[in-house]
Structure 1
């Protein structure tokens, strides 16, 4: 995909790192769903994206079937790119591609494949099928999981031997030298003075209001439907103490956002919540949070929590939400019982009243993210996995 979400951004950052660090690669990118990241991929490598209209003229359909036209499916786009570029390695950046790999599974000349898995079982169940997952895993000479929970899930639900899977954490595109001292004041958001939504955020920060926030797609898996209910719980728990709850990534025209705005209105809590649209980069907003929150029902290892950690903003999440619960368990945040919004609100209130605890949790999370999830730490591990995949593919051939 070419959306501004975790897995596509990670692939973009990895490509940049590999090319900036003199790796001898000639990448080509196939996007099976078009989106706003496509120009950034195009700036790095030859890129094709699936954005064909639903219906094509008969002449074009016939030409495609004869091998002379534009592919009429994402699978055809991928197969055509492989024929054209003849790669040494196919880097499959998600485990939901199995439905597009039927034609490749019978190709005896197929190059080595690596599957980088960013999904837990709920996502696989909604976006793929057991048969398609099995097909992709069978084609992959190397499997990388973004968290230990993902690895265990692959073994439990799909029978993948633990020995076939390597855990490499998600990462941020920052190095140790990019570290900004947290004692420095947060600079104003440039170019947003006329934006009433951003101005409202700035005023809250300037006035010392306790600002906590979320960032991500406004969907149920991310827990967006829980956001108004959490704001109501916070109104009760904070007992009059001012706060502002922010969600970055809530497109105004999206149905879920319209419903959430109505809920907040009916509960008379609009003054406590701020819904911001998606932005090219979210870290400039996230660093304004006193606390970052994750309401995700399932999230393998959300990059947004790592971005928060870069700016020493601690995270509150559910214990059973995914790999990030393991991250915060190491004194880098707070985890509460699954879907317990009262406990979530209580954790936020305690942190609002204890800036020293916030600072300590934030500093620990920042140290951990640069120790374990800096691109300079993770990219060499991914490169080694790519080399192992190619070596295994060569032995198979």
Structure 2
């Protein structure tokens, strides 16, 4: 089966990483897949995709202003746009299936929509409505869903949102959870000795983290883009609440994924400085892999306002690190409700800080929650369990496309 895998980005973030892990699993297990990859925005994962399959990448920002996209198309021809890149790849590879790895690709599918001989399409949806509204349009979402002979949602909440907001019949959408690239046999970072952190050994920020751990400081942390949807703007306020709740007990709050030159990060640094809390917080730039830092957390935090099923919480669980999150922030609240962490009321930073403090003084509960989260993620979200489900959906999508072609 020839499959063209399409990713909106090549960043080290949830959806692109999931696609990379899936493609790697398919190659390792010789599943009869002949893959090719289109990256509609270039990024650091491109070499890893190239090592697995023929890969092309669009080197301009994916979400350009309309006038810039129009001018580029006039000046350089069809292949000078993400849509043109995708259309050319379809003609070149003649896939049986186009695997659309997010639901924000509809604006680039007009060429496919006009082709009666188009391949079958599968849409793998990792987004809730706020993300769809900011990265796509209702028209583009409808176009992509109409093209898709199969739709996979990463969580039940995503499936229900597609039904409510976009009229997708529930029986057209399968729920398959996000996953981690570890097997259910217990392999994973928690079973390995903690290695030195990646990056420059002289980096004072990493040295500061290691020093805090050596001194017995309670370290909790976050990992993700420094954006409002992930709740990054709440981070300084949470540190202030923790300073009050912890009442002088030493702690260090870490955020991994905060580029120093980003405006939101500069604002957060200023907030921490004016609050005189710089000594309680550590902002780390993105790393090739974050698991080395996440394993050092005693507790993983999730301040997301909306996050369908964040992979970082699953990575923390594999390392036996429990999560504290908001109840209404997305699907991971269902995960932690099963004895794998703590969920507090939405945007209640006092309750969030209190939950962190309680876990800091109760290592037994913290260990029990971590062990339960590790067992759950390896049972329900290991790649060996999830990838065969996705493969079966791909095969059904091709069969359904053949029937309706």
Give the TM-score category using the shorter length.
over 0.9
Question: Contact between 2:195 and 2:292, CA under 8 Å: does it hold in 1?
Answer: no
Question: Contact between 2:72 and 2:81, CA under 8 Å: does it hold in 1?
Answer: no
Q: Which residue of 2 aligns with 1:381?
A: 389
Distance 1:11 1:185, change over 3 A: closer
Q: Which residue of 1 aligns with 2:317?
A: 309
Q: Which residue of 2 aligns with 1:110?
A: 118
Q: Which residue of 1 aligns with 2:372?
A: 364
Q: Which residue of 2 aligns with 1:68?
A: none
Q: Distance in 2 between matches of 1:44 and 1:340?
A: 44
Q: Distance in 1 between matches of 2:282 and 2:249?
A: 17
Deviation, structure 1 residue 108: 0.4
Counterpart pick for 1:175 among 174, 180, 183: 183
1:318 aligns with 2:331: no
What RMSD in Å do the two structures reach over aligned CA positions?
1.9
Counterpart pick for 2:242 among 234, 239, 251: 234
Deviation, structure 1 residue 181: 8.4
Counterpart pick for 1:332 among 317, 321, 340: 340
For this pair of structures, how many residues does the alignment match?
Answer: 391
Q: Which residue of 2 aligns with 1:130?
A: 138
Question: Contact between 2:72 and 2:80, CA under 8 Å: does it hold in 1?
Answer: no
Classify the secondary structure of the residue corresponding to 2:34: coil
Deviation, structure 1 residue 24: 1.0
1:33 aligns with 2:46: no
Distance 1:184 1:170, change over 3 A: closer
TM-score, length-scaled by structure 1: 0.95
Deviation, structure 1 residue 393: 0.5
Deviation, structure 1 residue 207: 1.0
TM-superposition CA deviations, 1:255-313 (whole Å, max 9, x none): 00000000000000000000000000000100000000000000000000000000100
Counterpart pick for 1:278 among 279, 286, 289: 286
TM-superposition CA deviations, 1:315-347 (whole Å, max 9, x none): 000000111011101010000000000000000
Classify the secondary structure of the residue corresponding to 1:176: coil
Counterpart pick for 1:220 among 228, 232, 243: 228
Question: Contact between 2:186 and 2:378, CA under 8 Å: does it hold in 1?
Answer: no
Q: Distance in 2 between matches of 1:162 and 1:59?
A: 39
Query: Which stretches of structure 1, 4 residues or longer, exceed 2 Å deviation after superposition?
Result: 52-56, 58-65, 176-193
Distance 1:320 1:62, change over 3 A: closer
Instruction: Return 13-22 or 46-55, whichever deviates more.
Output: 46-55
Counterpart pick for 2:31 among 14, 23, 34: 23
1:78 aligns with 2:91: no
Question: Contact between 1:112 and 1:393, CA under 8 Å: does it hold in 2?
Answer: yes
Distance 1:235 1:18, change over 3 A: same
Q: Which residue of 2 aligns with 1:162?
A: 170
1:261 aligns with 2:274: no
Q: Which residue of 1 aligns with 2:147?
A: 139
Q: Distance in 2 between matches of 1:363 and 1:384?
A: 31
Q: Distance in 1 between matches of 2:177 and 2:136?
A: 23
Deviation, structure 1 residue 26: 1.2
Q: Distance in 2 between matches of 1:144 and 1:62?
A: 37
Structure 2, unpaired ranges of 5+: 1-8
Q: Distance in 2 between matches of 1:181 and 1:97?
A: 34
Deviation, structure 1 residue 186: 3.1
Distance 1:10 1:190, change over 3 A: closer
1:206 aligns with 2:206: no
1:298 aligns with 2:314: no
Question: Contact between 2:19 and 2:101, CA under 8 Å: does it hold in 1?
Answer: yes
TM-superposition CA deviations, 1:231-256 (whole Å, max 9, x none): 00000000000000000000000000
Distance 1:123 1:207, change over 3 A: same
Question: Contact between 1:192 and 1:199, CA under 8 Å: does it hold in 2?
Answer: no
Deviation, structure 1 residue 129: 1.0
Question: Contact between 2:73 and 2:80, CA under 8 Å: does it hold in 1?
Answer: no
Q: Which residue of 1 aligns with 2:50?
A: 42
TM-superposition CA deviations, 1:182-223 (whole Å, max 9, x none): 587634325643111001000111111000000000000000
Q: Which residue of 1 aligns with 2:3?
A: none
